[in-house]
Amino acid sequence: MDAQSITTKERLAIPRQQMPSQNPEMRSHNFREVNLGYTAELAQREAQRCLQCKNPACVKGCPVNIKIDKFIKLIADGDFAGAARKIKEDNVLPAVCGRVCPQEDQCEKECVLTKKYTSVAIGNLERFAADYERETGNVELPTVAAPTGKKVAVIGSGPAGLSCANDLVQLGHAVTVFEALHELGGVLMYGIPQFRLPKEIVQAEIEGMKKLGVNFITNAVAGRSITVDELLEEEKFDAIFIGVGAGLPWFMGIPGENLLGVYSANEFLTRVNLMKSYQFPDNDTPVFNCKGKSVAVFGGGNTAMDAVRTAKRLGAEHAYIVYRRSEAEMPARIEEVHHAREEGIEFLMLMNPLEFIGNEAQWLTGATCLRMELGEPDDSGRRRPVPIKDSEFILPIDMAVISIGNGSNPLIKQTTPDIDVSKRDTIVVDITTMATSKENVYAGGDIVTGGATVILAMGAGRTAAAAIHAKMMGTAVVS
């Protein structure tokens, strides 16, 4: 169908095209991807819903300002590879972002259709274009500028580091990325589960960057294997970008947290995602055998949803989300909560754990919890949960996952004292350039913001790349 030939009225009459997904009962027993992706037909129909606004608000809602209107028009016109190239002008990881971005709070929230209808499914379309390009092998490498002779070290190969490295290599700089783990991708590999973001997709995106000339070094821990000062002074890097992500997981500080069967979300997810313990003993790393057991995840964010859905897939009979506020206050994406509920996750809202209890062998047997009710709004604007008197009870569980966020890893701070950090130990930067207090050292992503999203980290990486380029070349920043 020719996209030009339909009227606005006809566009408005097209309903938002649903993302096909695996049947909930089936998928709650496997680690394959939940969402199956649009067909070309669904994608084109969805793309036709876009009104092609003169001043597209969606673009401003995107942290990396993808030319959303333009790539959607290309999809509507059937030029899928062209759409992918258009996205890649601004976003190095479209297949990843199309899957894990909170579009409902960003681009889709700004869509003019949102008020009276439902927004264009921008994320689903981004995913479609990126998948089309990768699956058809139609990947066109961007052009790389002539070598500048400048060297940049990027510490961390998560979303912030990858987007920074990608921009810099295209500008002709020699870029080396140092990764602490044995696999590249950071949180995309150890944190986000296979069923939400297949690891092959992450690796395909990284392969593309290798082809552009980015040099990747795994098993290099900043602050231990290499320090920022060594990179600057001994290895003569002209600039450094620190994108090491969030670090130490927080625990709740309640009795019994060291019982056997109590995990941080980071540990549980790392075992399953990065170390593939769901394939034990073919992979060596074990994880608690959830089969037929009751598992509770404490927290209400996306990581909590990832953990609880992972436990379900490992065979948990009961997989609970325990959250001290109500569902309306949960920070997790609506889609994730929706998917979790479809898969049989049990939501225990307004409930706060006081203590973990265990048996003689120190294995977890339950959590003493207190029921809560919502009181007056607190500093965050959300209604404060207040304990209900004498409401204590024991929730019987065999495994617990604490998913209440992360602090900062202390290694950079310990070994590079001249980089200023905040009271929360996050790195302090000038947000227009992501420059730290140390000359030629930049930082972005969760190490600056505390736990946030993939796309915000990518935005920070790009901002830093532009500033690093300008500083090294002695030019003004062009964003």
Partner 1 sequence: MHKIVSAIFLAENIKKIEIEAPRIAKKRKAGQFVMIRVGETGERVPLTIADANPEKGTITLIVQGMGKSTRELNSKEAGDSIHDIVGPLGAPSHIEKFGTAVSIGGGLGAAIAYPTAVALKEAGNYVITINGARSKELVILEEEMRAVSDEAYITTDDGSYGFHGFVTQKLQELIDSGKKIDFVLAIGPIPMMRAIAEVTRPYQIKTVVSLNPIMVDGTGMCGGCRVTVDNQIKFACVDGPEFDAHLVDFKNLSDRNKMYLPEEKQAVETFAHKCNLQKQL
Among residue numbers 371 through 430, which ones bind partner 1 (CB under 8 A)? 409-411
| Binding of partner 1 by 283 (CB under 8 A) | yes
Q: Which residue among 79, 257, 355, 425 contacts partner 1 (CB under 8 A)?
A: 257
Q: From edge to edge, which strands make up the β-sheet containing 318-323?
A: 262-264, 399-402, 294-298, 318-323, 346-349
Q: How many other CB atoms sit within 10 Å of the CB of residue 438? A: 19
| Binding of partner 1 by 163 (CB under 8 A) | no
Question: Whole-number minimum distance, CB 395 to partner 1, in Å?
Answer: 21
For residue 98, CA distances in Å to 93, 124, 186, 315, 374 come to 9, 6, 18, 29, 35
How many residues appear in the chain? 479
| Binding of partner 1 by 39 (CB under 8 A) | no
For residue 432, CA distances in Å to 6, 325, 334, 451, 468 come to 42, 35, 31, 20, 12
Question: Whole-number minimum distance, CB 252 to partner 1, in Å?
Answer: 10
* Closer to partner 1 by Cβ: residue 247 or 300: 247
| Binding of partner 1 by 52 (CB under 8 A) | no
In the shown chain, the binding pattern of residues 67 to 86 toward partner 1, with x for contact by CB under 8 A and - for none, equals: --------------------
- Strand 151-155 relative to strand 239-242: parallel, antiparallel, unpaired? parallel
From 111, 65, 113, 182, select the one nearest 458 (Cα to Cα).
65
Q: Which residue among 31, 80, 190, 241 contacts partner 1 (CB under 8 A)?
A: 190
| Binding of partner 1 by 276 (CB under 8 A) | yes
Question: Whole-number minimum distance, CB 29 to partner 1, in Å?
Answer: 21
| Cβ contacts of 472 within 8 Å, gap of 6 or more | 148, 150, 152, 173, 238, 239
Q: Which residue among 109, 280, 395, 405 contacts partner 1 (CB under 8 A)?
A: 280
From 320, 317, 322, select the one nearest 340 (Cα to Cα).
320
Cα separation, 160 vs 168, whole angstroms: 12
Q: Which stretch binds partner 1 (CB under 8 A): 15-23, 50-58, 275-283, 447-455?
A: 275-283
* 280 CB burial (10 A radius; 0-12, 13-18, 19+): middle
| Binding of partner 1 by 232 (CB under 8 A) | no
* Closer to partner 1 by Cβ: residue 254 or 348: 254
| Binding of partner 1 by 220 (CB under 8 A) | yes
* Closer to partner 1 by Cβ: residue 223 or 459: 223
Instruction: Measure CA 74 to chain center.
Output: 27
Cα separation, 60 vs 106, whole angstroms: 9
Q: Which residue among 247, 299, 301, 385 contacts partner 1 (CB under 8 A)?
A: 247
Q: Which stretch binds partner 1 (CB under 8 A): 149-157, 252-260, 311-319, 383-391?
A: 252-260
Q: How many other CB atoms sit within 10 Å of the CB of residue 377? A: 10
| Binding of partner 1 by 267 (CB under 8 A) | yes
Please provide the DSSP assignment of 360-394 as one string.
TT-BEEEEEEEEEEEEEE-TTSSEEEEEPTT--EE
| Binding of partner 1 by 225 (CB under 8 A) | yes
Q: Tokens for 197, please give them.
A: 């973001």
Q: Which residue among 150, 271, 309, 469 contacts partner 1 (CB under 8 A)?
A: 271
Question: Cis before residue 281, ω within 30 degrees of 0?
Answer: yes
Q: Which residue among 10, 39, 147, 251 contacts partner 1 (CB under 8 A)?
A: 251
Q: Which stretch binds partner 1 (CB under 8 A): 19-27, 77-85, 124-132, 270-278?
A: 270-278
Instruction: Measure CA 465 to chain center.
Output: 20
Question: Whole-number minimum distance, CB 269 to partner 1, in Å?
Answer: 9
| Binding of partner 1 by 284 (CB under 8 A) | yes
Question: Whole-number minimum distance, CB 28 to partner 1, in Å?
Answer: 23
Residue 171 near residue 248 (C-beta atoms within 8 A): no
Residue 159 near residue 246 (C-beta atoms within 8 A): no
Residue 447 near residue 410 (C-beta atoms within 8 A): no
Q: Which residue among 137, 281, 381, 474 contacts partner 1 (CB under 8 A)?
A: 281
Q: Which stretch binds partner 1 (CB under 8 A): 92-100, 112-120, 130-138, 242-250?
A: 242-250
* Closer to partner 1 by Cβ: residue 103 or 277: 277
Question: Whole-number minimum distance, CB 260 to partner 1, in Å?
Answer: 5
Amino acid at 85: R
Cα separation, 473 vs 466, whole angstroms: 11
Q: Which stretch binds partner 1 (CB under 8 A): 157-165, 243-251, 371-379, 467-475?
A: 243-251
Considering only the C-alpha atoms of the chain, give the largest distance between any 2 of them, rounded to a whole number of Å. 73
* Closer to partner 1 by Cβ: residue 225 or 479: 225
* Closer to partner 1 by Cβ: residue 237 or 288: 288
| Binding of partner 1 by 157 (CB under 8 A) | no
3-class secondary structure, 216:
strand
Residue 354 near residue 368 (C-beta atoms within 8 A): yes
| Binding of partner 1 by 453 (CB under 8 A) | no
The binding site for partner 1 (CB under 8 A) comprises 180-182, 190, 218-221, 224-226, 247-249, 251, 253, 257-258, 260-261, 263-264, 266-267, 270-271, 275-276, 280-286, 288-289, 361-362, 409-411
